Structure 1
């Protein structure tokens, strides 16, 4: 089969499209003919060789990235009901990795699907994370919600959820095209946080109202500017730092203003047992149309271009690879 293999840490161009042996399903496993594989921002960090306390351990090389896999079962291992063969499925636990034409997974981790492969692969991790993020945020219809990185995979789903809940939604993203995408999602206000004084323009548009919940996926200076818009008693919930810059609110300010600061990612990582039920919820939300992910697809052979685009924040929605 063809797969994308990393032999040495470094730039995106180190990802090599090559021929490798087909994986064979073991006991309790199915093999999936991959139709769509998800690409995650953390994979670009691991590929580069950078390490950090909040990151997964670096993989042994050579490696094939990508656990998010959707496709059709073409073979089953010992002990698995052969009726799985021919079924469309999705999993977050593909091995040796989803950047390939074939992957295997434990049958217990596989969900049958009736939605498109690209949609399913977007929801099995990004959708799950968005729902977990929202549960931590505990939004209400009376909230004024500011979502940064609102045109990203998670951000778009958060905007949809908050809009349907009845909250007032402000979506911040970088560049006219991304701002237009956020506006099309139904945000009450879509702003370009690459423009100077964007936060001041948000304050002016709110006309005296204040942000009660900040859901931040970008970090850095943009998060700092957004944080200044929070009302006393507001909630600041983070899910990552797409800018690769860290913003940590001043503890004295947080206490003085009665703010709640939560690192949702750390909270979620401490509760791995909840993941299966979130996967069911996320797929159900896509199936009934409650949440609709945006997908930006690249051919499997162009995985390096997908990584480069993701790192430069030139993508909109969930990045997927198509064999």
Structure 2
């Protein structure tokens, strides 16, 4: 079968298309002919050989990826035969070399989600990991109609879902995106919420001033919630928009630099804030992850969430990694 592997740690070009033996499902497993493969920023970190987050470095050669969607073409001993031919999405587990960048993937039966015909495979992939994390983050944030929410990375797989969810909750939103293309994408998600949402380009050096002006137009002296997965300078400046006692919800640091306000729980102006981590030390213990996956898939299937995807041909996994690292992607990155 075709698979994307890397035999060394390094730049995106270490990812190469190769022929490897077909896997076979064991007891309690199925074989999925994958047509969509999820790509995470964490995949790029592991490819570079940088230990980060919950996963150790993979043993090489490795097939990256932990999310697939496609059709069940084989079942192992003890698996219900009704899975054969089913359209499914699955998370392959928290391993550094999950085998997701392959045309055939073995998945435990317990990880499968049957997909309705109305839900595309790329959109389903976005819900298995990214949609799940979005719901967990929103649970921590507790956004209500009285809130004023700042979203960093608003054109990303997570950020785009946060913007929609905050608007649906009745909150006012300042969405931060990098560049005109991303700004347009975010505005397209909530075209009828112009008076409720301001979308700003963080590549404009004056964006913090524009953000304060936007808050004023929205009738808010400051933000009550910041949802940050970017970190670094953007996170610092976004967190500076919080009111005293506001909620700083941290779910990652895509720049590789932590949010400095999260470390001190004090804004640059000296106002104390409540830091609510979603990952890492201090994060809550979430329940059954499949419950969040099912709920996310339902939101996408019903149209409650419009899912942005950045699709790259399977053989061009190196390009997908490079574009993700260079922050040139809009929405969830999917190979297919």
Query: 2:29–2:109: 8 Å Cα contact kept in structure 1?
Result: yes
TM-score (norm 1): 0.95
TM-score (norm 2): 0.91
Distance 1:109 1:157 in 2: 23
**Per-residue Cα deviation, 1:162-215 (whole angstroms, up to 9, x for no partner):** 011110011101001101111122261000111112111111222252111000
Distance 1:268 1:84 in 2: 39
Query: 1:96–1:104: 8 Å Cα contact kept in structure 2?
Result: no
Residues 1:247 and 1:268: Cα distance change in structure 2 (over 3 Å):
closer
1:154 to 150, 158, 171: 158
Superposition CA RMSD, Å: 1.8
- 5+ residue gaps, structure 2, are none
Distance 1:267 1:79 in 2: 39
1:209 to 211, 214, 221: 221
Residues 1:297 and 1:12: Cα distance change in structure 2 (over 3 Å):
same
Q: Does 1:171 align with 2:175?
A: yes
Partner secondary structure for residue 297 of structure 2: helix
Q: Does 1:199 align with 2:208?
A: yes
Distance 2:286 2:11 in 1: 31
Partner secondary structure for residue 33 of structure 1: strand
Distance 1:49 1:233 in 2: 39
Partner secondary structure for residue 305 of structure 2: coil
Residues 1:303 and 1:265: Cα distance change in structure 2 (over 3 Å):
same
Q: Does 1:66 align with 2:65?
A: yes
Q: Does 1:126 align with 2:139?
A: no
Distance 1:136 1:270 in 2: 8
Q: Which residue of 1 aligns with 2:264?
A: 251
Q: Which residue of 2 aligns with 1:32?
A: 32
Q: Which residue of 2 aligns with 1:79?
A: 78
Distance 2:236 2:81 in 1: 54
**Per-residue Cα deviation, 1:208-231 (whole angstroms, up to 9, x for no partner):** 521110001111000111111101
Q: Which residue of 1 aligns with 2:149?
A: 145
- 5+ residue gaps, structure 1, are none
* CA deviation after TM superposition for structure 1 residue 92, in Å: 0.8
Query: 2:136–2:286: 8 Å Cα contact kept in structure 1?
Result: no
**Per-residue Cα deviation, 1:244-271 (whole angstroms, up to 9, x for no partner):** 22222263736x6341012212279763
Query: 2:186–2:199: 8 Å Cα contact kept in structure 1?
Result: yes
* CA deviation after TM superposition for structure 1 residue 288, in Å: 1.3
> How many corresponding residue pairs?
321
Q: Does 1:291 align with 2:295?
A: no
Query: 1:232–1:258: 8 Å Cα contact kept in structure 2?
Result: yes
